[in-house]
C-alpha cells in the first residue's frame, strides 16, 4: 500500500471519456442529477482545460491549475498540442489534485475528461493520472461514450469498434462502453440491423458484407475483414444504449458502472441483496436494456412512417 493510501477509505467514481461531441459533459450533468436523487453526495471534477462552459456545479475545475487558451498563447501551440501539454502538466502536479480531492471525502466522483481521442489510445498522461488515483484508493470505471449515429454507417462503426478496443487496452480500467444520444439515432438514418447487433457486437462478417455493397468500400474488403478479425479475437467490446433524458436508461448504465468499479458491493445506500443480485446478472441485463431501447426506436420509426402515410 502506498503512503498516499494508508488509512484512507475507498472512493468510487467514473472517468467519462470519449471523442468530441459524444456528450460527456451532458452525461456528467444528467448522472450527477440522477445520483443526487438517489441520495449520493456527488463531486463533479472537470479535467477538460478547454471546457469553459459547465452546466453542472463543479466541485473541482482544472482551470484552477491550467487552461488551454493560456497554454496555446504562451507556448504557441495548437489545440491538440496544447491539450496534451495540459494533461502532462496535470500529471506532474498530481499533488495539487490530491489536495483538492481531499476536500470531498465521502463523495462519489464524476471526472469529466477531454475529448481528444489520442489521450486514451496512445498518450500516457491521463492513464498515469488514473493510475495515481487508484493508488489513493479511488475505485474508478471508465465510461466511454460514443455517438450512436455511427451505427448508421458501417465503415464508421468499425472505426468506433477499433477505437473502443484500443482505449480499453490502453486506459487499463474497468470499462463500460456506451452508445449515447439513442433518442436521436433515427435522425441519422435507418439501422441496417437490429440494435442488439450493435450493442452486443454480434457476427461482424455481416457488417463487412454490408460494406461490400458500396463500390468504394468493396476495394477495402480485405482490410475490413482484418480489422473485424482483430475486434472479434479480443472479444471485449460491447455497448450499452443511453438516452440521458430517460431515467431508466441512466439507471441501467449506472448499474453496469457500479458493478464495474465495485460500488455495488460497498456500504452505501443501495448495498442490499437486491443491488447485489442486479449486479450479478450479466447477459440478461444487457439484453433487457437493449430490448427496451429497441422497442422505443422501432416505435419512433413506426410513428414516423404513419405520419408519412398520412401526408400522402
Write out the residue range of the structural domain in which residue 100 sits: 11-200+238-265+274-301
Look at residue 192 in the predicted model and tell me its pLDDT. Answer: 81
Indicate if 251 and 226 belong to the same structural domain.
no
- The partner residues of 108 in beta bridges, in order of sequence, read 42
Indicate if 178 and 295 belong to the same structural domain.
yes
310 within some domain? no
Cell digits of residue 154? 458501417
Average confidence score pLDDT of the chain: 85
Phi, psi of 240 (to 5 degrees): -110, 135
CATH code of the domain covering residue 69: 3.40.50.300
Query: Which residues, 6+ apart, have CB-to-CB distance to 54 below 8 Å?
Result: 25, 46, 61
170 within some domain? yes
Strand 11-17 relative to strand 175-180: parallel, antiparallel, unpaired?
unpaired
Domain count across the chain: 2
Indicate if 84 and 64 belong to the same structural domain.
yes
Look at residue 191 in the predicted model and tell me its pLDDT. Answer: 84
pTM: 0.84
Indicate if 91 and 222 belong to the same structural domain.
no
Of 9, 197, 200, 37, nearest to 105 by C-alpha is 9
Spatial separation of the C-alpha atoms in residues 229 and 221, rounded to whole Å: 12
Spatial separation of the C-alpha atoms in residues 12 and 247, rounded to whole Å: 21
Indicate if 44 and 112 belong to the same structural domain.
yes
Place of cell 466511454: 144
In SS3 terms, the chain reads as CCHHHCCCCCEEEEEEECCCCCCHHHHHHHHHHHHHHCCCCEEEEECCCCCCCCCCCCCEEHHHCCCHHHHHHHHCCCHHHHHHHHHHHHHHCHHHHHHHHHHHCCCEEEEECCCCCHHHHCCCHHHHHHHHHHHCCEEEEEEEEEEHHHHHCHHHHHHHHHHHHHHHHHHCCCEEEEEECHHHHHHHCCCCCCHHHHHCCCCCHHHHHHHHCCHHHHCCHHHHHHHHHHHHHHCCCCCEECCCCCHHHHHHHHHHHHHHHCHHHCCCCCCCHHHHHHHHCCHHHHHHHHHHHHHHHHHHHHHHHHHHHHHC
Indicate if 211 and 90 belong to the same structural domain.
no
Asked if residue 264 lies in contact with residue 12, where contact means CB atoms within 8 angstroms, the answer is no
94 within some domain? yes
Indicate if 52 and 88 belong to the same structural domain.
yes
Look at residue 248 in the predicted model and tell me its pLDDT. Answer: 92
Look at residue 17 in the predicted model and tell me its pLDDT. Answer: 96
Of 119, 131, 133, 60, nearest to 88 by C-alpha is 119
Indicate if 129 and 148 belong to the same structural domain.
yes
Low-confidence stretches of the chain (pLDDT < 50) are 1-7, 269-273, 275-277, 279, 281-285
Query: Which residues, 6+ apart, have CB-to-CB distance to 292 below 8 Å?
Result: 248, 249
Indicate if 134 and 47 belong to the same structural domain.
yes
Indicate if 50 and 164 belong to the same structural domain.
yes
Cell digits of residue 233? 479475437
Amino acid at each position: 500500500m502506498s503512503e498516499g493510501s494508508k488509512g484512507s477509505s475507498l472512493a468510487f467514481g467514473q472517468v467519462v471519456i470519449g471523442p468530441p461531441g459524444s456528450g460527456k459533459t451532458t452525461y456528467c450533468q444528467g448522472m450527477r442529477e440522477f445520483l443526487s436523487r438517489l441520495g449520493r453526495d456527488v463531486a463533479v471534477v472537470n479535467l477538460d482545460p478547454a471546457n469553459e462552459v459547465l452546466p453542472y456545479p463543479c466541485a473541482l475545475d482544472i482551470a484552477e491549475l491550467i487552461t488551454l487558451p493560456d497554454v496555446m498563447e504562451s507556448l504557441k501551440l495548437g489545440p491538440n498540442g496544447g491539450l496534451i501539454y495540459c494533461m502532462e502538466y496535470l500529471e506532474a502536479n498530481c499533488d495539487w489534485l490530491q489536495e483538492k480531492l481531499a476536500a470531498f471525502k465521502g463523495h462519489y466522483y464524476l471526472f469529466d475528461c477531454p475529448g481528444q481521442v489520442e489521450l486514451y489510445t496512445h498518450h500516457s498522461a491521463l492513464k498515469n493520472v488514473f493510475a495515481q488515483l487508484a493508488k489513493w484508493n479511488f475505485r474508478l470505471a471508465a465510461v466511454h461514450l460514443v455517438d450512436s449515429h455511427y451505427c448508421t454507417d458501417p465503415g464508421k462503426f468499425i472505426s468506433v469498434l477499433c477505437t473502443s478496443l484500443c482505449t480499453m487496452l490502453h486506459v487499463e480500467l474497468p470499462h463500460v462502453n456506451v452508445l449515447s444520444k439513442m433518442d436521436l439515432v433515427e435522425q441519422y438514418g435507418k439501422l441496417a440491423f437490429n440494435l442488439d447487433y450493435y450493442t452486443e457486437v454480434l457476427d461482424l462478417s455481416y457488417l463487412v458484407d454490408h460494406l461490400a455493397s458500396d463500390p468504394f468500400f468493396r476495394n477495402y474488403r480485405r482490410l475490413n475483414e482484418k480489422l473485424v478479425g482483430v475486434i472479434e479475437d479480443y472479444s471485449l467490446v460491447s455497448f450499452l444504449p443511453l438516452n440521458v433524458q430517460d431515467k431508466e436508461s441512466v439507471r441501467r448504465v449506472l448499474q453496469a458502472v457500479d458493478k464495474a468499479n465495485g460500488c455495488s458491493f460497498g456500504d452505501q445506500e443501495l448495498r442490499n441483496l437486491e443491488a447485489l443480485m442486479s449486479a450479478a446478472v450479466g447477459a440478461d441485463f444487457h439484453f433487457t436494456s437493449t430490448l427496451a431501447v429497441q422497442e422505443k426506436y422501432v416505435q419512433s420509426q413506426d410513428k414516423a412512417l404513419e405520419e408519412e402515410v398520412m401526408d400522402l
